[in-house]
């Protein structure tokens, strides 16, 4: 049976690859991101290649009320969401005390509030149908404290915790909730956030976004509650349960510090 999948942050990176893998398995799509041109081009390409219905609804989910407006728009079009993929998010690399407060607040609105609001909005209909799936793109950062990316890491810890709680709550309703936790992914974030000057992308392996998307699709359809992509990152997630948090924080600090004063003026749709 064909499902309709709503994917946020779908114009590039992991989101675009997730759209491709869901389409390749015959799922219809509702794609949202800020860039209308890229969304329209992707919808046309996936429709032509796989014969699925793909609907583009541009939105900036970091804006107040944007998630609720998106759901109303979807309902107005007579569409329903069978699978929700919360992929949209961005990160920032800088000393917290010197960070742009507006940017940090926008990060929390997108990574946390929009994801929460969108999930809350689609769940009642899924519960009535007693079926549905939610995929939340978290991160290996969910397991760690992240000096120089403190707010980003904290938002991803929230995503993981929320996903695990909802997975337990919704199991009796036939709804699965999955947290996808990739490590570093080749989406260009390191250039946007000036992370090339740190040891982060020199120390850890970088994954292909298509491979991450295929893995995310597989664990979602299997109903897994958490999936960490890549053997090195699985080991890192396991080790994070054993090592003292202050030690983990010092290790991450040494990897991500780079130059002391770092700030970015351009945001990235994806960190993972």
CATH number (domain holding residue 54): 3.40.50.720
> Residue 269 domain-assigned?
no
pLDDT digits (tens, 9 = 90+) for 106-161: 999 999 999 999 999 999 999 999 999 999 999 999 999 999 999 999 999 999 99
Q: Average pLDDT in the 176-196 region?
A: 78
261 domain-assigned: no
The answer as to whether 69 is a domain residue is yes
* Residue 266, domain member (yes or no): no
Residue 180 lies in domain? 4-256
- List, for residues 15-46, the tens digit of each pLDDT value: 999 999 999 999 999 999 999 999 999 999 99
Question: Could you tell me the pLDDT band of residue 189, with boundaries at 50, 70 and 90?
Answer: low
What is the rounded average pLDDT of the residues 180-208? Answer: 74
Residue at 265 is within a domain? no
- Give the total number of structural domains in the chain: 1
- pLDDT (0 to 100) of residue 263: 35
Burial class from Cβ neighbours inside 10 Å (0-12, 13-18, 19+) for residue 211 reads middle
Hunting for tokens 């940017």 — which residue is that? Answer: 103
Query: Is 67 within a domain?
Result: yes
pLDDT at position 82 over 70:
yes
Residue 184 contacts residue 204 (beta carbons within 8 Å): yes
Of 168, 30, 27, the C-alpha closest to 87 is 30
Active site residues: 152, 156
| Higher local confidence (pLDDT), 199 or 153 | 153
Average pLDDT over residues 226-239: 93
- pLDDT, mean of residues 228-238: 92
User: Is 49 or 264 the better-scoring residue by pLDDT?
Assistant: 49
In a domain, 268, yes or no: no
Give the whole-angstrom CA distance, residue 206 versus residue 33: 24
């Amino acid at each position: 049976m064909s499902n309709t999948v709503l994917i946020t942050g779908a114009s590039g990176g992991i989101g675009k690859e997730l759209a491709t893998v869901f389409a390749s398995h015959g799922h219809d799509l509702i794609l949202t991101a800020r860039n209308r041109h890229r969304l329209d081009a992707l919808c046309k390409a996936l429709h032509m290649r796989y014969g699925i219905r793909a609907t583009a609804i541009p939105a900036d989910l970091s804006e107040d009320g944007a998630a609720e407006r998106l759901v109303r728009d979807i309902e107005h079009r007579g569409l329903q969401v069978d699978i929700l993929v919360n992929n949209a998010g961005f990160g920032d690399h800088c000393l917290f005390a010197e960070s742009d407060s507006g940017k940090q607040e926008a990060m929390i609105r997108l990574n946390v509030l929009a994801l929460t609001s969108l999930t809350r909005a689609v769940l009642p209909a899924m519960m009535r149908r007693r079926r549905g799936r939610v995929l939340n793109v978290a991160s290996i950062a969910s397991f760690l404290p992240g000096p120089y990316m403190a707010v980003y890491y904290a938002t991803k810890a929230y995503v993981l915790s929320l996903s695990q709680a909802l997975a337990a709550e919704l199991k009796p309703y036939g709804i699965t909730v999955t947290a996808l936790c990739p490590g570093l992914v080749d989406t260009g974030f390191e250039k946007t956030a000036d992370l090339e000057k740190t040891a982060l992308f020199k120390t850890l392996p970088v994954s292909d976004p298509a491979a991450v998307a295929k893995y995310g699709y597989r664990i979602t359809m299997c109903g897994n509650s958490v999936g960490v992509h890549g053997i090195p990152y699985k080991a890192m997630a396991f080790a994070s349960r054993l090592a003292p948090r202050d030690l983990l924080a010092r290790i991450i600090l040494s990897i991500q510090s780079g130059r002391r004063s770092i700030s970015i003026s351009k945001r990235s749709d994806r960190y993972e």
